[in-house]
Structure 1
Amino acid sequence: MQENTVMSAQLDAQQLPRQGWLRVRASDRVMLDAIFRQYGLALGRPIKHAVEEHGFVLLPLDLPLPDREPEAAEGASFSSAQILIAFTSDLLITVEPDHPIEALRRAQNRFGATGEVPESRDALIVILEELNDAMQETVAQISQVLTNLADQAVDSSGGFKMEGRQVGVADIAQTAILLGGAEELIARTVQGQLMLERAARWVRRSGGDLTLDYSTALSDIQGGRRHARFQHAKVRNIQQSLMTTLDLKQNQIIKVFTVVTAVFTPPTLIAAYYGQNFANMPELALPWGEWFVMGTTALFALVPLAYIKRKGWLR
């Protein structure tokens, strides 16, 4: 079976192949119209679930794949790759986004190594394997991001930043926001792995013998999904740690205000007493009366402080 990777400028509707792999850009309306006229497939519309039309099986994929752009090399950056696959036992059609997808290029290179495209379902298994490998790279980058966020969570619970400023609630909130973004990305990754697994099962359902190892490909996809869910568990653990730290910091703030209130309440009562306009206050006439009041105020402030310290409430 000869390789068929076709651009709309090279073929018209009468020349579209009946065998091989036909790659189409989602923005190429001319080619999509030609496919509709020749095969009866309307591939330009949104398709949410796997369906069978005109002898083809249509499989939508929405995968968060890592970017390959130079400016994204130092950090984790991902883009959504929406791919529509239509296949029969003879022909494989992929409707791809305008930006190039590295996994599909690798799959095409694997075919080029032998000089021919295998039977369409075997070709689809190769494509699913490459897409699964790309998803594994996504999970690996997410894992690195989570490692960095875990370090931030440790700093948040540990005390002080490099400049000596104590880590506060705002720092914890920023880490929590980043964790929320990571959790959303992991959820999309798990959904993408489920789409790949469903596509692999449809290949098996379509019948016929497969020369490639279908079971290995399906196991790899399922293993990738388990890995993604493990990362989701890591997110939940870090979030739980942050929430515990936040509760402790809030309790610490409340404890400080409670101690301050307990220490200054007795002096406040004394000040309120001597602020009254009584007609006769004999201690005011004593030469040491002022020192007596000051000492009494200090004593009443230190007594609750000593009691709180003895109970260990200052730790």
Structure 2
Amino acid sequence: MTEPGIHPHAATGLIDARLAQAGWQRLNAQQGEALAAAQRLHGLDLSSARGRAAIEEGDFIVIPVELVLCQDGEFRETRVIFALGHQQLISVEQGLRLHALDRASEQLFASMADGCALDPCTMMFCLLEALNEAAHASLRGIAARLDERSDAVAAASGGFDTAKRQAGVADIAGTAMALGEAEELVAKAVEGQLMLARAGRWLRRAAGDARLGPRLSVLLSDIHSLRRYARFQHDKIRNLQQSLMTTLDIKQNQVIKVFTVVTAVFTPPTLVAAFYGQNFAYMPELALPWGEWMVMGLTGLFALMPLAYIKRKGWMR
């Protein structure tokens, strides 16, 4: 929310300053001096190397959250470390400034303008809610890309693409690699929802059931529902991968079958050619005026006999 005549960056700085007065100190890992000062002041470890465990340090509960969010058109893995205290909330973003937290800060600033009192637990609830909504939007984007990949898998499984060109092993391999990347993103999204749920449970413990009980229960239910949706997308990817592997096996079997048929057809003529390539002293059919045509006819007949047998057995289908 930007007032007329105020530059967006200046408005963002104003919002951050007002929220810092209310109790939310928003930091970034790139702000080395400010982050080090906050760690010294509160005796906390808010570095990216602190691990993934949620622990109590002094008067704070330090909770790391890792998510896959779509920002600026790209899916990125991001990490936010929350330090929830009785009088202050500290958040440390790793890398880019998250748009989801920007929207949450604007909502909190609007609430302050309306005269609503804010406390660290209420602010963290709004942040978790904004992160969950951003994760939901990211999963919808991943699901939309998976639908496109499903068409590619269907083309590969059917054998031909839209240009009537037979889909080969290289096409299947490229689609499989893309599915592997999508699977990794969705797996991290599932893990992110688990970390969000953990943060929500820590928040409920800190805030108590009376303050945020109903709203927090709804948020935790939404987080778990989104986790189930992410698992559904993960299962969908696995099914697509299995379909691709089945198609690849079929194509490999077809290649082997073609070579087997070619070998069966050309083995008898090869034997005939090898026989007449020997240096025998006497070959009576060479004296016959139609001997060459007889050998050529027998060679063709011997080549067609295994082909007819293979076709009769249905091995060419």
TM-score after normalising by structure 2:
0.88
Equivalent pair of 1:60/1:82 in contact (CA under 8 Å): yes
**SS of structure 1 residue aligned to 2:143:** helix
One-letter amino acid of the structure 2 residue matched with residue 58 of structure 1: V
Specify the SS of the correspondent of 1:213.
helix
Q: Deviations over 1:271-305 (max 9, x none)?
A: 11111111111111111111111111111111110
Relative to 1, partners in 2 of residues 1:130 and 1:228: Cα closer, same or farther, differing over 3 Å?
same
Aligned to 2:221, which of 208, 219, 222?
219
In 1, the alpha carbon distance for the partners of 2:206 and 2:97 equals: 29
1:22 aligns with 2:25: yes
Shift of 1:149: 1.2
Pick one of 81, 91, 114 that aligns with 1:84: 81
Provide the rounded CA distance (Å) in 1 between the counterparts of 2:151 and 2:239: 13
User: How many Å separate the matches in 2 of 1:222 and 1:60?
Assistant: 18
* Paired letter, 1:88: G
1:52 aligns with 2:53: no
Structure 2 counterpart of 1:33, which letter?
A
Match of 2:271 in 1: 269
Measured in 1, the distance between the counterparts of 2:97 and 2:35 equals 18
What SS does structure 2 have at the residue aligned with 1:313? Answer: coil
Q: Which amino acid aligns with 1:219?
A: S
Deviation at 1:267, TM superposition (A): 0.9
- Cα-Cα RMSD: 2.1
Q: Distance in 2 between matches of 1:188 and 1:59?
A: 17
Q: Per the alignment, in what secondary structure is the counterpart of residue 281 of structure 2?
A: coil
Task: Supply the AA of the counterpart residue of 1:228.
Answer: A
Query: What is the distance in 2 between the residues matched to 1:214 and 1:101?
Result: 22
2:126 aligns with 126
Structure 2: unaligned runs, 5 residues or longer: 1-11
Q: Distance in 1 between matches of 2:101 and 2:154?
A: 40
How many angstroms apart in 1 are the aligned matches of 2:135 and 2:184? 15
The CA distance in 1 between the partners of 2:117 and 2:230, in whole Å, is 32
Aligned pair count reads 298
| Residues in 1 aligned to 2:107 and 2:60: alpha-carbon distance in whole angstroms | 24
Contact 2:28–2:92 (CA under 8 A) maintained in structure 1: yes
Determine whether 1:148 maps to 2:148.
Answer: yes
1:21 and 1:117 in contact (8 A); partners too: no
AA aligned to 1:106 is R
Partners of 1:107 and 1:281 in 2: how far apart?
97
Can you list the C-alpha shifts for 1:67-103, whole angstroms capped at 9, x where unaligned? Answer: 22xxx3xxxx212222110012331111123422111
d(CA) in 2 for partners of 1:45 and 1:117?
A: 32
Matched residue SS, 2:50: coil
Q: What residue number does 1:39 align with?
A: 42
Contact 1:111 1:117 in 2 (8 A): no
Match of 2:175 in 1: 175
- 1:274-313 to structure 2, matched below 5 A, reads 274-313=276-315
Q: Confirm whether residue 199 of structure 1 aligns to residue 202 of structure 2.
A: no
254-263 or 31-40, which moves further after superposition?
Answer: 31-40
Deviations 1:6-32 (A, max 9, x none): 89x989xxxx86x52111122222222
Residue 64 of structure 1 contacts residue 188 of structure 1 at CA under 8 Å; is this kept in 2? yes
TM normalised by structure 1 equals 0.89
Amino acid at match of 2:35: L
Q: 1:207, CA displacement in angstroms? A: 4.5
Aligned-partner Cα distance in 2 for 1:78–1:145: 12
Alpha-carbon separation, structure 1, partners of 2:204 and 2:271: 84
2:81 touches 2:93 (CA, 8 Å); kept in 1? yes
Structure 1 position 45, deviation (Å): 5.3
Answer yes or no: is the 8 Å Cα contact 2:48–2:94 preserved in 1.
Answer: no
State the 1:210 CA deviation.
Answer: 2.1
What is the match of residue 6 of structure 2?
none
Superposed CA deviations along residues 118-174 of structure 1, whole A, max 9, x for unmatched, are 222122111111101111111111111111111111111212234443211111011
Q: Deviations over 1:224-270 (max 9, x none)?
A: 11111111001100000000000000000000000001111111111
* Equivalent residue number for residue 245 of structure 2: 243
Q: Is the 8 A contact 1:121 1:210 kept in 2?
A: no
> Does 2:100 correspond to 1:103?
yes
- Alpha-carbon distance in 1 for matches of 2:102, 2:241: 38
Q: What is the rounded CA distance, in whole Å, between the counterparts of 2:192 and 2:294 in structure 1?
A: 78
Q: Which has the higher helix share?
A: 2
Contact (CA 8 Å) 2:269, 2:302: kept in 1 or not? yes
8 Å Cα contact 1:6/1:23 also seen in 2: no
Q: Distance in 2 between matches of 1:241 and 1:294?
A: 47
In structure 2, the residue corresponding to 1:175 is in which secondary structure? helix
The answer to whether the 8 Å contact 2:71/2:99 transfers is no
Report which stretch shifted further, 113-122 or 225-234. 113-122
The worse-fitting range, judged by mean Cα deviation, of 28-37 and 83-92 is 28-37
Deviation at 1:114, TM superposition (A): 2.1
Q: Rate the CA distance shift 1:297–1:249 in 2: closer, same or farther, 3 A.
A: same
Alpha-carbon deviation of 1:199? 0.3
